[in-house]
Amino acid sequence: MTTTAAPGSSTSATPSPSQGGATAASAHTSGQSRTSDQSHPPKYPTLLSPIQVGKRQLRNRVIMGSMHTGLEDDPADAPKLAAFFKRRAQGGVAAIVTGGFPPTMEGNLTPFGHPFTDEETVAAHRQVTDATHEGGALAILQLLHSGRYGYHPMAVSASDTQSPISPFPAREMTVEEIEATIAAYAQSAVNAREAGYDGVQVMGSEGYLINQFLAERVNQRTDDWGGSVDNRQRFPVEVVKAIRAAVPEDFIVDYRISVLDLVEGGQTQEEILQLAEKLEAAGADMLSSGIGWHEAKIPTIVTSVPRAAFSWATAALRERVSIPVVVSNRINTPEVAESLLDGSWAPAGGFAHNDANTERLPGTPQGDLVSMARPLLADPDFVRRAEADEANLLNICIACNQACLDHTFDNQRASCLVNPRACYETELELLPATDVKRVGVIGGGVAGLFAAEALAQRGHAVEVFEAADKVGGQFRLAMMIPGKEEFVSSLVGVQARLDKLGVKIHTDSPRNAQELLESGFDEVVVASGVTPRIPDFPGVREGLAGKIDGVEVMTYAELVSGVKRAGRSVAVVGAGGIGFDVAEYLQDYRDGKPQELKSWNEQWGVTTDPAARAGLTTAHPHCGQREVFMVQRKITPMGKNLNRTTGWVHRATVVMGGAELIVGAGYEGVDSEGLHITVPATDPKAINKAMKDAKHIRNKEERKEALAQIERDMAENRVQRTLGVDTVVLCTGQESVRPDEISPDAAEALRPRVHVVGGADVAAELDAKRAIRQAVEVAAQI
């Protein structure tokens, strides 16, 4: 079967935007989009309408929210940061907020940063602001003091304390240091204006220094800067007052307020609303919402969080102030953004039991502007596509965090799984091809589809050949996993863009490189993906063939694709990323439908009750639909190597669902009784502690012998166990698929005309990030 796309042109054109638009009557009044006319009214009239913020007018209601890219610390990276921001400005956003810059040396997130009082840093930012303005957007510098989140020995906070996410304790600031820090905020704002910025955003949320002053969780002071609510709120109010007094009226002062702390000892909603009123009186022009501390045990931005899950908290804020309020978190389509601003937003199933905010919906806007960060990493043309009514072409953010936040917390440069050019605009360029070629792509998984898109954007004639009856590969499986339903939108978007680019997609069409080269293709990209690896222990092959009475063995692909169905008691063999996905699938099968917000709030213990401190209530985890055992060979804690910012969510979810986690297992075989394993006789926690202690032995030979002895003890002291399950699901890795067994050596011999990418090159589970990046890099070179 063949799907032929209509001829089209690249969607990545970036014309310089206009600054036109009428002045809004007030902060909470919608205007008309500059793109509207009588015959073609805009589909998103509120989102695309201008708005007045302080003395400045924004061309629409979309702000690119702050994110740390890894390009902030070294002034030498300013040209790369400038290119990154310019591309988003050209895509139509009204304003761009930078990653956080500290007002003092102690406020650095890492020991390598430069405060915004450093002359070299300030001078370097002129090229950042010039580039942003050239693209048509306003530039806003975020001022962020890390407080006890500082990953260095200079960390300070409201009180002597240590955060659970930093190994460095923070000491209590003296009164003199507090006053000096307030002055440093003001001076940094002055410096920002000199560097060409149109405003600053004061980071007062996410658990950073200002948030630490506001919450009893950290602030244990007994002087004028702690104790009572008024005293705890003095620091942020004085910061805003100092900045307002130091800069002109037309310089925007934005404050990012924590509308929901989501930690024990956090603020109540009434405290937050009182602070908002004080900040407005102190001179803030706009309030941007922040959700949750970094140490919170509630997920706030991962894929499994329902869209706009916390907008109700921003709506409450909007009712108490007259300045514009910015709603944020898990907003990734123009439809969601528009509904939040025009009052039509209503999550399926409501918010929660005895919801105190239900009366706000529908009919009440949740905010006056929207802030999006990761969605603009994924697609810098988000606003342009909304203006052109081409939201179907969006390269949608799937909230995976794999290339953005995971990189940030590992001190790497951020990028995007579905857009590897993000933050690499000056290095990974898709220039027009000087020699237009006919290119065949074997495989319609994400590596193949994104390679085809990049090739077509450069002007090549591209065709995709997929052996299955549908494209999507591993993404088609992933979209069935609870919390990963967004993945289907990514597939829909890339197929729509390929259609516009004129790329032909052939399904049910297995091919190999030699066939395509002989049929007239100039180059071939092999992106044929992976297949599940089958472990070699007794009973597996028989079980896969259905020859064991009462027990069925299946691969993860057979389960999730629906080829086979699991029973009521299941052993998941292998506990990597795929193993956790499968466990969640078994516990909470939803047929690809996202979880309703009410259900999600109940599961995680989030309440909209304004009387509840920090938005927390008793969690009511859902009982899993099946009995699930997760089994792994390694003795280390299960899920240890999952992604840094999302792994804890997966671990918590499977535990809440009632799964039993078994580590250090030896697989003895599968028969009609179930899965037979051996496990260490000693408690795995004790074994891991012994291994940790052994690794600290200084003498190399003694350390090696101590670890070897632990391994011998584990091998000798084991007990038999039989898991009486009716289903065994194999999540034991993957192997590359190459048409007609094309080996790496053969592919090498055919170069430069054949290029193997993605899982076909290197099989590694849940590695779409590497696969897509490699595919785009190869496409850039053909």
pLDDT (0 to 100) of residue 292:
98
DSSP 119-151: HHHHHHHHHHHHHHHHTT-EEEEEE---GGG-S
Nearest residue to 384 (alpha-carbon basis) of 630, 768, 48: 48
Give tens-digit pLDDT for 470-529: 999 999 999 999 999 999 999 999 999 999 999 999 999 999 998 999 999 999 999 999
pLDDT (0 to 100) of residue 170:
98
* Higher pLDDT pick, 583 / 355: 583
Q: What percent of the chain has pLDDT over 90?
A: 85
DSSP 296-308: -SS-SSSTTSPTT
pLDDT (0 to 100) of residue 450:
99
Mean pLDDT over residues 668-672, rounded?
Answer: 97
pLDDT (0 to 100) of residue 759:
95
pLDDT (0 to 100) of residue 32:
41
Contacts (Cβ under 8 Å, ≥6 apart) of 370: 47, 61, 62, 63, 326, 327, 328, 331, 337, 340, 341
Q: What percent of the chain has pLDDT over 70?
A: 92
pTM confidence score: 0.90
Give tens-digit pLDDT for 268-318: 999 999 999 999 999 999 999 999 999 999 999 999 999 999 999 999 999
Which amino acid is residue 567, in one-letter code? G
Q: Do domains 40-345+364-391 and 532-730 have the same CATH topology?
A: no
> What would the two tokens of residue 6 be?
């209509």
In angstroms, the Cα distances linking 260 to 267, 269, 313, 433 are 8, 7, 7, 50
pLDDT (0 to 100) of residue 39:
59
pLDDT (0 to 100) of residue 643:
92
In angstroms, the Cα distances linking 223 to 144, 159, 220, 228, 554 are 24, 11, 9, 10, 64
Mean pLDDT over residues 23-40, rounded?
Answer: 46
Give tens-digit pLDDT for 405-449: 999 988 899 999 999 999 999 999 999 999 999 999 999 999 999
Give tens-digit pLDDT for 155-188: 999 999 999 999 999 999 999 999 999 999 999 9
Contacts (Cβ under 8 Å, ≥6 apart) of 559: 565, 566, 582, 585, 729
Checking if the pLDDT of 630 tops 80, the result is yes
pLDDT (0 to 100) of residue 65:
98
CB 417 within 8 A of CB 772: yes
DSSP reduced 3-state for 242: helix
* Higher pLDDT pick, 692 / 370: 370
CB 214 within 8 A of CB 293: no
Nearest residue to 404 (alpha-carbon basis) of 99, 778, 13, 150: 99
DSSP reduced 3-state for 37: coil
Contacts (Cβ under 8 Å, ≥6 apart) of 328: 65, 288, 289, 290, 291, 314, 370, 371, 372
Give the HSE-up count for residue 321: Cα atoms under 13 Å, Cβ half-sphere.
32
Checking if the pLDDT of 328 tops 70, the result is yes
Checking if the pLDDT of 360 tops 80, the result is no
Q: Residue 530 pairs with which residues in a beta bridge? A: 736
Contacts (Cβ under 8 Å, ≥6 apart) of 412: 70
In CATH, which of 3.40.640.10, 1.10.150.120, 3.90.1300.10, 3.40.50.720 is domain 438-531+734-781?
3.40.50.720
pLDDT (0 to 100) of residue 741:
59
> What would the two tokens of residue 617 be?
């209530």
pLDDT (0 to 100) of residue 353:
37
Contacts (Cβ under 8 Å, ≥6 apart) of 204: 210, 211, 214, 236, 255, 256, 257, 258, 290
Distance, in Å, from the CA atom of 342 to the CA atom of 278, rounded to the nearest integer, reads 27
Number of other residues whose CB lies within 10 A of the CB of residue 168: 15
pLDDT (0 to 100) of residue 779:
98
Element (H, E) at 260: strand 252-260
Checking if the pLDDT of 673 tops 70, the result is yes
- Give me the catalytic one of 208, 255, 585, 667: 208
Query: Which of these ranges, 15-29, 33-47, 96-110, 423-437, has the smallest mean pLDDT?
Result: 15-29
Work out the angle between the directed axes of helices 700-716 and 684-695 (0-180°, nearest 10).
Answer: 170
Contacts (Cβ under 8 Å, ≥6 apart) of 757: 447, 451, 525, 526, 527, 771, 774, 775, 778
In CATH, which of 3.50.50.60, 2.60.40.1180, 3.40.50.1000, 3.30.930.10 is domain 532-730?
3.50.50.60
pLDDT (0 to 100) of residue 355:
43
Number of other residues whose CB lies within 10 A of the CB of residue 23: 10
In CATH, which of 3.10.450.50, 3.20.20.70, 3.40.390.10, 3.10.129.10 is domain 40-345+364-391?
3.20.20.70
Q: How confident is the model at residue 24 (pLDDT cuts 50, 70, 90)?
A: very low
Q: Is 718 exposed, middle or buried (0-12, 13-18, 19+ CB in 10 A)?
A: middle
pLDDT (0 to 100) of residue 27:
54
208 noted as active-site residue = yes
Q: How confident is the model at residue 7 (pLDDT cuts 50, 70, 90)?
A: very low
Nearest residue to 598 (alpha-carbon basis) of 624, 625, 626, 620: 620
Exposure string for 139-165, b = 16+ CB within 10 A, e = fewer: bbbbbbbbbbbbbbeebbbbbebebee
Give tens-digit pLDDT for 254-281: 999 999 999 999 999 999 999 999 999 9
Helix spans in 568-646 (H): 577-587, 597-604
Q: Residue 100 pairs with which residues in a beta bridge? A: 142
Give tens-digit pLDDT for 71-98: 998 889 999 999 999 999 999 999 999 9
Listed by start position, the domains of the chain span 40-345+364-391, 438-531+734-781, 532-730
pLDDT (0 to 100) of residue 742:
60
Q: Average model confidence (pLDDT) for the chain? A: 92
